[in-house]
Chain A
Amino acid sequence: MSITVSPVLPSPPCFSGSTNQLPDISSGTSTHIVLGGDVRKIVSWVCAALLTVVVSTEASAQRRVTGRVVGNAGEPVSSASVSVQGTTIGGYSGEDGRFTLVNVPAGAQVLVVRRLGYKRVNQPLAATADQIEVKLEKDVLELERQVVTGTTTSISSANSANAIAAVSGEQLNKAPTPTIENALQGKIPGAVISTNSGAPGGGSQIQLRGVTSINASSSPLYVIDGVLANNAQILSGLNSITQAGSGVATSQDQPVNRISDINPADIESIEVLKGASAGAIYGSKASNGVIIITTRRGSTGKPSANITQRMGQFTMSNKLNFRCYGSAAEAEAAGFDPGAWTSAATKCNDFEDQFYGGNPMSYESNASLRGGNGGTTYYVGGLAKRDNAIQRNSYYQKQSLTANMSQVVGSKLTLRANNEFVHSLTDRGISGNDNADIVSPGDVFSATPTFENLAAGGRNPYLSSGSNPFQNADLIKNPEDVYRYIGSINTTLSAYGTQRQTLDFTFIGGVDAYSYNSNLTSPPDVYFEANDGLPGTLVRVKQQNVNANLNISGAHKLIADRGTLTTSFGLRQERRQYDGITNRGRNIPAGVTDVDYGVVQNVNELQYLVKDFAYFAQEEILALNERLLLTGAINAERSSVNGDDKKFYNYPKAAASYRLPMLPKYTDELKVRFAWGRAGNQPPYGYKFTTLPISVYGGQLGARPSTTAGSPNIRPELSTEIEGGIDAQMLNGRVAFDFTMFKKNVEDLILSATVANTSGFTTRLINGGALQNTGTEIGLNITPIQRGDFSWVSRTTYANVDGRITRLDVPCFNGGSYFGTAYGAPYVCQGYSPSTAQARNGYDSTFSCGPAGTCSTGTYVSRARRITNYESAPDFTMGFSNEFNFGAVRLYGLLDWRSGGYVANLTNIYYDEATADNLGALADTAAAHARNTAFLTQGASYFEKAGFLKLREISVSYTLPRSLAQTIFSSITQDVRLEVSARNLKTWTPYTGYDPEVSNFSNQNIGRFQDVTPYPPSRSIFFSLSANF
């Protein structure tokens, strides 16, 4: 088959509609790629739309209109877009607010003026007018913005058919946060953001609209300026010290997810496409949602600069308060040597204060410069920060440099280059689960009485290994060093343009490349190191990750009297590549840092390469005086990770929205919307292969059949989502309300299913189930007060998700990572929520019945395990944010409420002693004893309610009077703001552990409810000074 090129018409790339085959240009063989009917239809639409380019007439006019865009107080508003409604004619206002439009059609017209942060204005232009002033009003609730609908297309939020959550850079940076996921907490309805550790530098996962996969990827897709960013979690090899699992490294290494490298201050806005109905254009990676990050850009006008300096402190947000022993007798009763108590200089050491306090100040310095003239705009930003986190010697440090430039070449070509270079360096210390030689601080504290002065750094006499967290923290280093470049080139060619239509081609090439190096060094003089017979451990992890993507698309816009038709089409190619070498040396001489000195060596290399290719096409019709929006799109994608890597999987979407013309009283806008779409979730790399594991025994190679059966036919999970809702604006934009309901069905769930182990297999990888999530999301933004210098803006979000596994092709099983049903295990079963935790909860014993029917006193016959299922996911989540402005003073607060859900508090199991009263490591021995006794008789007593209300962010800021600022600083100073801001200042929760948000395995889709001696979460208070020039 070949591409049909029309001999008559200028050649649009139309694939012949008469056949369902696309060419395989590469091989020249007869390989046929079968496309679904949807693709064919879209292709023919695209062709039809393109044909109109040629047949339409070009009008000509000479009218010239000049004008000025000003704000409420008459101040000029730059960079406002001004266009003539119903045409493609438009321009932008300059620094002085002035604009000039040429070729304006004769007669009365309407000018549409838009500017981010202001409400849109439709200003009538009289037939005779050639000068005009347009006044814009501040958009306090940010109701007006452009939302993404395709790779290169967007639409005004007023028409959007999806509930797309957006967070502006300003909202994001209201309180300094270590990473962007933290900055999103409480701001996105329908997002549950969990953290697997309180350690600095990330380790958070965003789950959008519930659990959408059991064993495939759980991460949303991150797109940064068109680049598909890598959000991998790289294992540092901490397991070599903790032995939490087997092997050199495991998922219990408390890994950082790498999206945390991004500098939040560089972000202009984040849009969150929560599911398939909005994200279909991202095809087989969009099932978990898509998070689109747009970084800051330049703007024409005088250069403006910002410098922000922040200083702050991280402190423990919650203490467990280890027990103090009041007397030698009490120490003895608890099983300790009373002499040790008597001779102790300090009878009660506060391990938590000593180990999680006293760290130096943290700082963050941000500087940025933006500007532009002629056809050039630029944004340059720089960041240097260091968070000295609460645990002794742990820190997170980051430097980044961003340079985003754009250049207009001639009248047709716009070139944009975005570059971000990041270096991050973090040492998260040791925390979480451990085994063998206990090293996790929480674990060691559970085994050491507080009259032992651990902080002195000596051998811990209460552990045979001598393990002392203070010595460990001083001697063991685990720096993780990342150098990362994220860059993209975005070229737009306006190939054709008239008053009525435009044809643009966009080329986006992007790369996200980083090298990761971790150097775990545990010298041989660390007390516990001798315990395994191999004193000293070095683990070196060297990794290279490259994501590259190429996007070529065209967009044709036809503005007719009845409406606007936007046709976009294109192709996308992606390549994700990884090569990592992990080398461990054990039994090393003191003082060396080279892994080759290790007497016992382990070397491991892991690689992957994934290649994806997609075609897409989309049609948008905006009609009925911009009241009706209809969208249809299709994305056909193939990937090397699928069993059939030649097969294209189709991801269509369709959406409609309608702004009602007849409005109830007090209502400014009322929109009903409906969207339907499909997206996928790719099989993880390697699921299609069945391997022959190779081992070494006695210096010879050996091979045995794999215990995991791969699936040669594995295909992507297919998520189909329907969402509908209402958006309303009332009381002159003072109230905005949105309501969304969705239903998401995920078919072909990729399962790592249990096989009868007697078969010699343990796991089988299959597409074998379906789940359904339904939910509601509500947003209410109001401006109760806006009077002169005083304003109050309040935002409330609400979301709930109800998940059910609706089909399972294999028997029910415990999936993911867990410690056993004694402690709670994730349960995958038809009819159950995917976030179910299954726990054994006692026994029902059967006794033989005596003659009098006294069955309870008969002889013991048998017993059956009793199982209790707990729901680990919250019933609903809410966020309340309020901002008060009194002239120069601003007060802002964000409350994050998660209601319901259970967590297994395994940390308490460490602290509760196994026998009689008064032996535990915590003060509340009565409660501890009760739950421990229940546990030892097979009860599920360590499950706790984990709902919470957190004061996530709070800040007070004061803007200095300009005259004062200019006196103190310099005459070029525009404004100077002083701010005190805090994160996680206060938590209200029934949970008795450190924090219900912490989970030992939170990097998996299910089973995020296991709390095991974590790195305790912290709160932070920062003082900032921010100056604009």
Chain B
Amino acid sequence: MIHNRTLALIAALGLAAIACKDSTSVGDLNNVSAEAISGGLTRASTGLLVNGLLNASRGELDSRYLVFTETMARDFYRLDNAEARYISEIIGGPADFSAFTGGGAFSGMYVTIRSANTILNSLPTATGLTTAEASATQGLVNTFKALAYYRVLETRDSLGIAIDVNHPIDDPPAAFVCKPNALTYISALLDTASTQLAAGGASFPFTLPAGFSSNGSFTTPTAFLRFNRGLKGKVELYRGLDHSKPNTGSFATALTALNAALTGAPAGPDGGLYNTYSTSANESTNPLADANIYLNPAVGDSLQAGDTRAAKILTVTSKTLNQVTSKYKAVATDPAGALTRSIPVLKTSELLLLRAQVKIELGDLIGATADINTVRASDGGLAAIAVPASKKLAIDAVLYEKRYSLLGENAHRLVDLRAYTRLNATFLKKETTQDVFQTTLPIPKRELDARNTTSIAPTCS
């Protein structure tokens, strides 16, 4: 009996020993740990993070940013039997700040900004980069950071945006600043980037995606500086057009910047920097490839005779849903061809039309008309127009070209309608009974909840 018991105890102890020998430590089996970059950057990890940043920047152009802003601007009507909110909230009642609608086109931009800050914070201690290469990297990163701030401002406009976000997660959330302050900041950031690119030597220390060289080359710091200047011109134009605090010097600054951007710009209206898409494994396809996206009938109906940009528009079976009817779709959204279609970030025709807008504000209607006619000829195959008789007619002319040249490419039309005070029933059809002509998406509820508040008043200096 004792014998049995002893055996049992020995067995139990032996098993206990086996059990204890198996350590309980298990690492992360599915992901790369953030610790991989906490020890400082190398040339290789800098390249890895820059590609991640560019991918995050491309990710901002999701179906929300593009579809919501183009819907608010009355270009796109997404008619989805499963989801009425693309209409009911975007051109109907106010967008629900807790849903994908009102909460959209916000956090993605701040992910890009944090990606950029992660690189910028670590670059001073990075190894394997020359001073010029580090400067070029800073210039590129700061430019995309500025672009992310600008895009989130496009969607939130007068509500303001948070700027001072380069802080650890435990710090209090950054204050919201008003639109003029945000534009001032973005403009200055682009200048900082410009200086850094100018000191960036002959090449970037990493390979850039195909969209940097598919329609003209932006693969060197010098060439990429043109993209930076283009953005600068765009930001300055809307700084000048801001309702609450228009910046008087901005139009002149914008003209200088846009001239710089257009100097040596790739030939043709489509030259520029693009986001590219692919159907290869684990790559992203174009977010606009969506059979439910229709065009506001006015887009198809208002096209001038002979405009070759008609090729961008498809006539389809009429569909009525959620109080909206359409019979047009955009080629850019037709899944049959759009999955791998590139989306321009900034292209020559937009630069020309931005410059036309700047010239209009500077009173140079002749110069503006010349830029408009350049686009009309190269992009639309249309005859030149005479110099418009008034500023309003000139704006009409430039908005026509922008609508068709830049259809579904960014938030240009929402921004312009707002800047020219045209986002109202005077200029636009009231599409639904609940149509309130909302000018911005709301501050997402998650942002308000995290700040334990129900509204944020932006600070203005």
Tell whether, in the assembled complex, residue B113 and residue A760 are in contact, meaning their CB atoms are under 8 Å apart.
yes
With A691-B33, A914-B322 as contacts: A814 and B449 at CB distance below 8 Å: yes
With A436-B82, A464-B291 as contacts: A704 and B49 at CB distance below 8 Å: yes
The reply to whether the CB of A699 lies closer than 8 angstroms to some CB of chain B is yes
Report the Cα distance A762→B109, complex, angstroms.
Answer: 12
Tell whether, in the assembled complex, residue B52 and residue A703 are in contact, meaning their CB atoms are under 8 Å apart.
yes
Measured between beta carbons, the chain A residues less than 8 angstroms from B23 are: 26-27, 611
Tell whether, in the assembled complex, residue B26 and residue A645 are in contact, meaning their CB atoms are under 8 Å apart.
yes
Report the Cα distance A694→B445, complex, angstroms.
Answer: 28
The reply to whether the CB of A758 lies closer than 8 angstroms to some CB of chain B is yes
CB distance from B178 to the nearest CB of A (A): 15
CB distance from B100 to the nearest CB of A (A): 7
The reply to whether the CB of A234 lies closer than 8 angstroms to some CB of chain B is no
Measured between beta carbons, the chain A residues less than 8 angstroms from B302 are: none
Report the Cα distance A611→B21, complex, angstroms.
Answer: 12
With A447-B81, A813-B446 as contacts: A689 and B28 at CB distance below 8 Å: yes
Q: B19-30 toward A: CB 8 Å interface, digit per residue (1/0)?
A: 111111110111
With A495-B8, A533-B337, A758-B110 as contacts: A691 and B31 at CB distance below 8 Å: yes
Report the Cα distance A915→B323, complex, angstroms.
Answer: 7
Tell whether, in the assembled complex, residue B114 and residue A702 are in contact, meaning their CB atoms are under 8 Å apart.
no
The reply to whether the CB of A573 lies closer than 8 angstroms to some CB of chain B is yes
The reply to whether the CB of B338 lies closer than 8 angstroms to some CB of chain A is yes
Name which residue of chain B comes closest to A706, CB basis.
Answer: B34
Report the Cα distance A571→B2, complex, angstroms.
Answer: 23
Tell whether, in the assembled complex, residue A691 and residue B447 are in contact, meaning their CB atoms are under 8 Å apart.
no
With A705-B118, A760-B114 as contacts: A550 and B15 at CB distance below 8 Å: yes
Report the Cα distance A433→B34, complex, angstroms.
Answer: 35
Cβ 8 A contact of B339, one of A444, A533, A822? A533
Tell whether, in the assembled complex, residue A811 and residue B451 are in contact, meaning their CB atoms are under 8 Å apart.
yes
Tell whether, in the assembled complex, residue B80 and residue A691 are in contact, meaning their CB atoms are under 8 Å apart.
no
Tell whether, in the assembled complex, residue B12 and residue A13 are in contact, meaning their CB atoms are under 8 Å apart.
yes
Q: A925-964 toward B: CB 8 Å interface, digit per residue (1/0)?
A: 0000000000011100000000000000000000000000
Report the Cα distance A702→B161, complex, angstroms.
Answer: 27
Count of chain B residues with a beta carbon within 8 Å of a chain A beta carbon: 116
Within 8 A of A (CB), among B136-164: 161-162
Within 8 A of B (CB), among A685-707: 686, 689-707
Tell whether, in the assembled complex, residue A552 and residue B110 are in contact, meaning their CB atoms are under 8 Å apart.
no
Cβ 8 A contact of A552, one of B12, B21, B37? B12
The reply to whether the CB of A73 lies closer than 8 angstroms to some CB of chain B is no
Name which residue of chain B comes closest to A447, CB basis.
Answer: B81
With A24-B20, A613-B24 as contacts: A820 and B100 at CB distance below 8 Å: yes
Cβ 8 A contact of A697, one of B54, B82, B92? B54
Tell whether, in the assembled complex, residue B281 and residue A602 are in contact, meaning their CB atoms are under 8 Å apart.
yes
Report the Cα distance A573→B24, complex, angstroms.
Answer: 10
Measured between beta carbons, the chain A residues less than 8 angstroms from B54 are: 697, 702
CB distance from A89 to the nearest CB of B (A): 17
The reply to whether the CB of B189 lies closer than 8 angstroms to some CB of chain A is no
The reply to whether the CB of B290 lies closer than 8 angstroms to some CB of chain A is yes
Tell whether, in the assembled complex, residue B81 and residue A463 are in contact, meaning their CB atoms are under 8 Å apart.
yes
Q: A316-324, A749-757, A872-880: which lies at the B interface?
A: A749-757
Measured between beta carbons, the chain A residues less than 8 angstroms from B28 are: 686, 689, 691
The reply to whether the CB of A640 lies closer than 8 angstroms to some CB of chain B is yes
Within 8 A of A (CB), among B93-126: 93, 96-102, 106-107, 110-111, 113-115, 117-118
Tell whether, in the assembled complex, residue A754 and residue B449 are in contact, meaning their CB atoms are under 8 Å apart.
yes
CB distance from B301 to the nearest CB of A (A): 20
Report the Cα distance A641→B316, complex, angstroms.
Answer: 55
With A609-B26, A754-B450, A811-B450 as contacts: A707 and B20 at CB distance below 8 Å: no
Measured between beta carbons, the chain A residues less than 8 angstroms from B222 are: none
Tell whether, in the assembled complex, residue A759 and residue B110 are in contact, meaning their CB atoms are under 8 Å apart.
yes
Interface centre among A27, A434, A573 (most CB of B within 10 A): A573
CB distance from A567 to the nearest CB of B (A): 15
Tell whether, in the assembled complex, residue A914 and residue B323 are in contact, meaning their CB atoms are under 8 Å apart.
yes
Tell whether, in the assembled complex, residue A760 and residue B165 are in contact, meaning their CB atoms are under 8 Å apart.
yes
The reply to whether the CB of A812 lies closer than 8 angstroms to some CB of chain B is yes
With A10-B5, A465-B291 as contacts: A840 and B96 at CB distance below 8 Å: yes
Tell whether, in the assembled complex, residue B26 and residue A610 are in contact, meaning their CB atoms are under 8 Å apart.
yes
Tell whether, in the assembled complex, residue B82 and residue A25 are in contact, meaning their CB atoms are under 8 Å apart.
no
Measured between beta carbons, the chain A residues less than 8 angstroms from B322 are: 914
Report the Cα distance A707→B239, complex, angstroms.
Answer: 31
Name which residue of chain B comes closest to A761, CB basis.
Answer: B169
Q: B54-86 toward A: CB 8 Å interface, digit per residue (1/0)?
A: 111010000000000000000000001111110
Measured between beta carbons, the chain A residues less than 8 angstroms from B81 are: 438, 443-444, 446-447, 463, 910
Within 8 A of A (CB), among B317-365: 317, 319-320, 322-323, 334-339
Measured between beta carbons, the chain B residues less than 8 angstroms from A702 are: 48-55
Report the Cα distance A606→B323, complex, angstroms.
Answer: 44
The reply to whether the CB of A988 lies closer than 8 angstroms to some CB of chain B is no
CB distance from B117 to the nearest CB of A (A): 7
Measured between beta carbons, the chain B residues less than 8 angstroms from A755 are: 169, 450
Report the Cα distance A691→B8, complex, angstroms.
Answer: 46
Q: A96-108 toward B: CB 8 Å interface, digit per residue (1/0)?
A: 0000000000000
Tell whether, in the assembled complex, residue A704 and residue B55 are in contact, meaning their CB atoms are under 8 Å apart.
yes
Name which residue of chain B comes closest to A26, CB basis.
Answer: B21
Q: A599-643 toward B: CB 8 Å interface, digit per residue (1/0)?
A: 111110111111111000000000000000000000000111100
With A532-B289, A762-B107 as contacts: A704 and B96 at CB distance below 8 Å: no
Interface centre among B29, B89, B320, B452 (most CB of A within 10 A): B29
Tell whether, in the assembled complex, residue A692 and residue B165 are in contact, meaning their CB atoms are under 8 Å apart.
no
The reply to whether the CB of A597 lies closer than 8 angstroms to some CB of chain B is no
Tell whether, in the assembled complex, residue A692 and residue B31 are in contact, meaning their CB atoms are under 8 Å apart.
yes
Tell whether, in the assembled complex, residue B165 and residue A758 are in contact, meaning their CB atoms are under 8 Å apart.
yes
Name which residue of chain B comes closest to A608, CB basis.
Answer: B29
Tell whether, in the assembled complex, residue A550 and residue B19 are in contact, meaning their CB atoms are under 8 Å apart.
yes
Measured between beta carbons, the chain A residues less than 8 angstroms from B267 are: none
Name which residue of chain A comes closest to B329, CB basis.
Answer: A464
Interface centre among B45, B47, B335 (most CB of A within 10 A): B335
The reply to whether the CB of B304 lies closer than 8 angstroms to some CB of chain A is no
The reply to whether the CB of A395 lies closer than 8 angstroms to some CB of chain B is no
The reply to whether the CB of B210 lies closer than 8 angstroms to some CB of chain A is yes
Within 8 A of A (CB), among B422-461: 432-434, 444-447, 449-452, 454
Tell whether, in the assembled complex, residue B20 and residue A613 are in contact, meaning their CB atoms are under 8 Å apart.
yes
The reply to whether the CB of B280 lies closer than 8 angstroms to some CB of chain A is yes
The reply to whether the CB of A505 lies closer than 8 angstroms to some CB of chain B is yes
Cβ 8 A contact of B446, one of A571, A606, A762? A762
With A532-B289, A571-B16, A691-B33 as contacts: A820 and B98 at CB distance below 8 Å: yes
Cβ 8 A contact of B98, one of A443, A552, A601, A814? A814
Q: A533-B335, A602-B281 are in contact. List 18 more A-B contacts (CB 8 A).
A: A24-B20, A507-B11, A552-B12, A601-B281, A613-B22, A695-B55, A702-B51, A703-B48, A704-B49, A704-B52, A754-B446, A755-B169, A758-B161, A759-B110, A760-B113, A840-B98, A936-B88, A938-B93
- The 9 A-B residue pairs whose C-beta atoms are closest, nearest first, are A760-B114, A533-B335, A820-B99, A702-B51, A702-B52, A698-B209, A756-B173, A691-B31, A704-B52
Residues on B lying within 8 angstroms of A by beta carbon are 1-2, 4-6, 8-9, 11-13, 15-17, 19-26, 28-34, 36-37, 45, 47-56, 58, 80-85, 88-89, 92-93, 96-102, 106-107, 110-111, 113-115, 117-118, 161-162, 165, 167, 169, 173-174, 207, 209-211, 276, 278-285, 289-292, 316-317, 319-320, 322-323, 334-339, 432-434, 444-447, 449-452, 454
Residues on A lying within 8 angstroms of B by beta carbon are 3, 10-13, 23-27, 335, 412, 433-438, 440, 443-444, 446-447, 463-465, 493, 495-496, 503, 505, 507, 531-534, 550, 552, 554, 571, 573, 587, 599-603, 605-613, 638-641, 645-646, 686, 689-707, 709, 754-762, 764, 810-814, 818-823, 825, 840, 864-865, 909-910, 914-915, 936-938
Q: List 9 A-B contacts (CB under 8 A).
A: A26-B22, A554-B12, A694-B32, A698-B51, A703-B45, A709-B169, A814-B445, A910-B81, A938-B93
